[in-house]
């Protein structure tokens, strides 16, 4: 089997192999992107580029059924969630089409002395390299490509090896939308080829969504070559529950926050930190609801992913935790479960569990909840549930994370910036801030 292949996680069947790019093909992709930057980017207007990205969104909508079935085949995402991902991606492209001219308008600067004027003009920087993960094959690309193509940067895109079919479908969409050759180029490249591409002087920046290990490797190469990077890495997001006037609704939110995409989301709620006043009722109802969802759960992205999760869970249980599970693992299908009695001081508790298993902790009071929430190397998202608005905002201020959602899960939007701190990476995608990462904020002073 080649590096790039569609392997249906539900059956283990190799659906199709895709040839890995040669060194010459990767170089040609970078050359095409550079040529598109020096021609198309330099001569097109923001309005023209907005029209193109709007067409990309419309094509996602027109092809939503086909696109959804592709990623269901590639990484096991349930069909309804696959359709939702396509729709959200379309909304992101439309968002940047609607707001590009406002976001990229000249920004005046008030002079402290002297006559004349000064302003900031936002312009593209050139060829960007995108390195994407498998868990959201369309949405991750939309977060990166939407703002940057609208700005005028051109893109060389390396998708995850298990997502070659969706990568090809996206390449076709950008071509059918009317982008010139080289504006968006998909490459089935190896990690070694990508490392060389990062060092290529024609490449001006790199965006990666993936593991800590991958982020560190990319940042190291980029740093040596003085290239800017945006990194969206792992997360062990806390779900802090301090009080509730509807525990059943809170439990439903907790299940949704943990088990969307079969628990394979960087910003999923993973550590449930529950005040002792509601702990017993929450654990009882949460565990029952988690176990009741076992029959409808999709497979993990691969057997290898299930192997790793099984190994991690075994380590936590060996260290004294208790696992309540809905059944036995079968291939890539991993039974949903709840871990309690976890010692947060042990190394096994510091890992990100990428799958349908939740960890629940009991704490006494707000300060203890915040302390435990911050006791992690990660800092991506977080969730705070309480009936006290002042407490919610107070806790939100204390949490070391890039995002805080109060009394809500699944509340992400195209307009809301996404990103983290600590070992969850740096930089932001989506919203106004997403278009401001790979941009030349050129100061122009007129006397």
Q: Kindly list the catalytic residues.
A: 232, 266
Cα(375)–Cα(321) distance, rounded to whole angstroms?
18
E strands in 83-227: 107-109, 117-124, 127-131, 154-158, 184-186, 203-209
Q: How far is CA 255 from CA 258, 272, 417, in A?
A: 5, 11, 24
Token output for 35: 């040529």
Cα(50)–Cα(441) distance, rounded to whole angstroms?
19
First to last CA, the chain: 64
Q: Which helix (H) or strand (E) holds 306?
A: helix 303-318
Percentages of the chain per state (helix, strand, coil), in multiples of 5: 45, 20, 35
SS3 state at 125? coil
Half-sphere exposure at residue 421, Cβ-oriented, CA atoms within 13 angstroms: 9
Cα(263)–Cα(269) distance, rounded to whole angstroms?
9
Strand partners, 238: 271
Strands 154-158 and 184-186 turn out to be parallel
Cα(351)–Cα(322) distance, rounded to whole angstroms?
17
Q: Around Cβ 325, how many Cβ atoms within 10 Å?
A: 19
- Please, which residues have CB within 8 angstroms of residue 256's CB and are 6 or more apart in sequence? 409, 410
Strand partners, 445: 118
- Please, which residues have CB within 8 angstroms of residue 389's CB and are 6 or more apart in sequence? none
Q: Is the Cα dihedral 55, 57, 63, 66 positive or negative? A: positive
């Amino acid at each position: 089997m080649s590096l790039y292949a569609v392997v249906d996680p539900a059956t283990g069947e190799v659906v199709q192999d895709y040839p890995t790019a040669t060194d010459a093909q990767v170089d040609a992709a970078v050359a095409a992107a550079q040529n598109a930057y020096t021609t198309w980017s330099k001569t097109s207007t923001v309005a023209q580029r907005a029209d193109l990205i709007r067409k990309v969104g419309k094509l996602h909508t027109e092809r939503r059924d086909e696109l959804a079935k592709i990623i269901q085949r590639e990484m096991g995402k349930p069909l309804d969630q696959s359709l939702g991902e396509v729709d959200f991606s379309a909304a992101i492209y439309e968002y940047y089409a609607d707001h590009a001219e406002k976001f990229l308008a000249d920004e005046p600067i008030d002079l402290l002395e002297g006559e004349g004027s000064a302003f900031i003009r936002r312009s593209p920087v050139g060829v960007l390299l995108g390195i994407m993960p498998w868990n959201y094959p369309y949405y991750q690309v939309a977060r990166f490509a939407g703002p940057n193509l609208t700005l005028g940067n051109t893109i060389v895109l390396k998708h995850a090896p298990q997502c070659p079919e969706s990568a090809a479908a996206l390449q076709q969409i950008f071509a059918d939308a009317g982008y010139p050759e080289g504006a968006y180029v998909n490459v089935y490249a190896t990690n070694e080829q990508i490392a060389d591409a990062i060092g290529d002087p024609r490449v001006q920046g790199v965006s990666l969504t993936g593991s800590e290990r991958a982020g560190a490797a990319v940042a190291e190469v980029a740093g040596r070559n003085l290239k800017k990077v945006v990194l969206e890495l792992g997360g062990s997001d806390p779900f802090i529950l301090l009080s509730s006037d509807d525990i059943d609704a809170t439990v439903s939110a907790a299940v949704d926050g943990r088990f969307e995409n079969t628990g394979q989301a960087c910003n999923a709620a993973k550590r449930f930190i529950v005040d002792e006043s509601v702990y017993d009722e929450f654990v009882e109802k949460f565990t029952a609801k988690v176990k009741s969802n076992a029959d409808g759960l999709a497979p993990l992205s691969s057997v290898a992913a299930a192997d790793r999760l099984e190994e991690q869970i075994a380590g936590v249980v060996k260290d004294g935790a208790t696992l309540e599970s809905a059944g036995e693992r079968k291939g890539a299908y991993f039974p949903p479960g709840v871990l309690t009695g976890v010692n947060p001081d042990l190394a096994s508790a510091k890992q990100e569990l990428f799958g349908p298993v939740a960890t629940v902790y009991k704490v006494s009071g707000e300060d203890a909840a915040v302390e435990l929430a911050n006791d992690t190397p990660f800092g991506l998202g977080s969730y705070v549930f309480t009936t006290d608005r002042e407490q919610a905002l107070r806790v939100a201020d204390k949490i070391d994370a890039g995002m805080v959602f109060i009394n809500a899960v699944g509340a992400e939007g195209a307009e809301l910036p996404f990103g983290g701190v600590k070992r969850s990476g740096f930089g932001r995608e989506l919203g106004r801030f997403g278009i401001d990462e790979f941009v030349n904020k050129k100061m122009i002073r007129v006397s």
